[in-house]
Amino acid sequence: MLKRTFGVILSLFILWGSVALAAEQHKLAVIFPGAIQDRDYNMIGYQAMKHVESQFGMETAYSQRVSVEHAEAAIREHYTKGFDIIWTHGGQYSSLITNIAHKYPDAHFVIEGDEPMKTPYPNIIVLGGSEYHKSYYVLGALAAKLTKTGHVGYIGGTELPFAYGEINAAAQAIRDYQPHVRLHYLHVGDFNDPLDTRRVAED
């Protein structure tokens, strides 16, 4: 997940320049699907938010453990408090944002997705995930070199196309560098369940 955050940070830098946002005039709110203490996707997203805060002196706020069903209420709450940059940290929110963005014409939305939007929206910017798999080739090569048992594990959240792209990239690297190493993978069915993920890892 580290590579996603690096991409998020860089993309936010680009966002700042592309829409000429001034830190003293704008405030950033982030919607997280899970807990920021999960030591994974949400925690690193939180760190990215804090990096933006310190880098630009921008006021930030966040809501965590927000389901898609409750996301608009959280967005509305931040928006009414003057937070006009809303970053939804997870692709599950993207369809919602494309449906409600017109209600908040003064807000800039940052969403995550695997592909560019078919219909562009003036106040939505997409952080693309089409390159995620490339970093997993590197991780697969490292895992193949470091394993002492000849076995490498991958625990994912939900079975989605980008997740299989990551698995395939890691598997390719293992075949290229240590073909005797075996890759084992499974999905727990939830990107925001660290307890179940820990249980599976211990098993």
CATH architecture of the domain with range 132-202: 3-Layer(aba) Sandwich (3.40)
Q: Map out the domains of the chain as residue ranges.
A: 2-128, 132-202
Q: What is the pLDDT of residue 48?
A: 87
What is the distance between the terminal CA atoms of the chain, rounded to a whole angstrom? 22
Per-position b or e across 85-116, b if 16+ CB within 10 A of its CB: bbbbbbbbbbebbbeebeebeebbbbbbbeee
The CA-atom distances, in angstroms, between 28 and each of 68, 86, 119, 136 are 19, 6, 25, 30
Tell me whether the CATH fold assigned to 2-128 matches the one assigned to 132-202. yes
**What is the distance, to the nearest Å, from the Cα of residue 87 to the centroid of all Cα atoms in its chain?**
10
Q: What is the pLDDT of residue 176?
A: 97
CATH architecture of the domain with range 2-128: 3-Layer(aba) Sandwich (3.40)
pLDDT in tens, 30-59: 999 999 998 778 888 898 888 888 877 889
pLDDT in tens, 141-194: 999 999 999 999 998 888 888 788 889 999 999 999 999 999 999 988 887 777
Q: What is the pLDDT of residue 1?
A: 46
pTM across the whole model: 0.69
Q: What is the pLDDT of residue 124?
A: 92
